[in-house]
Chain A
Amino acid sequence: MAATVKVVRLERTWKDQIYLLEVLRGLGLTLKHMFVNMWGRRATPTIQYPEQTIEYPKRFRGVHRLMQRDDGRVRCVACMMCSTACPARCIHIEAAETDDPSIEKYPAVFAIDELKCVDCGLCVEACPCDSIRMDTGLHMPPVLTRGAAVLGKIDLLKLAAPSVATQGGEKPGWQSKPDDPRFADR
């Protein structure tokens, strides 16, 4: 059985047909918007960006920073977890040995290419010692050359503060918590 198709045509009155009245109505609408925006209450949702900014959410991922130990040395132990986790492969680390037996390694070179970075935050998740963070709230400033977008260890440490997390040294280790009853059976 053939399907029956019901054709519904738009009912157009002569007012619609001559089109001119509808044009005037449309003009009325756009002009109303224009005059309201000119003299009345502005409906523009625009944010005049460099002068006006919106407040970013607390978990906004900005430019990276490298956290410090209490003595100001970098917390990073050059474990390569962040550079392994990085989907954009923008973290370059060259490890070196330290004399401190509780640390063993530190990054001699730690560079992040902020142009390659996709701001995913996986490096922060991967870091076992709270060394790398993206909580500066800063945008990467514009650069004139691509090389200038590569932030080194010194640049990243300049944004840093001592981390509140404990790790190595004289303080209780961050991996074992002997005073905590939950760790009693370990």
Chain B
Amino acid sequence: MPLQINEIENLIKKSIPDAEIEIKDLMGDNNHYEATIKSKLFNNLNKIEQHKLVYKSLEGKMGNELHALAIKTKEQ
């Protein structure tokens, strides 16, 4: 069962409460998404650490239910 956009947002918000999130469904198939996420929590982290923070918020769904989620992280 693919994840819906609001489910992805809720998961991210749960662990990154200040996140400003914009998610696009790239192919209109509920399966290929691109998320742009802004948060103060990214400040002073390198890109790998920023993306890991997002992956952790997705509770292991990345690479499983969530097949394709491109991530862009931005500091605030």
Does A pair with B?
A: no
Chain B residues with a Cβ under 8 A of chain A: none
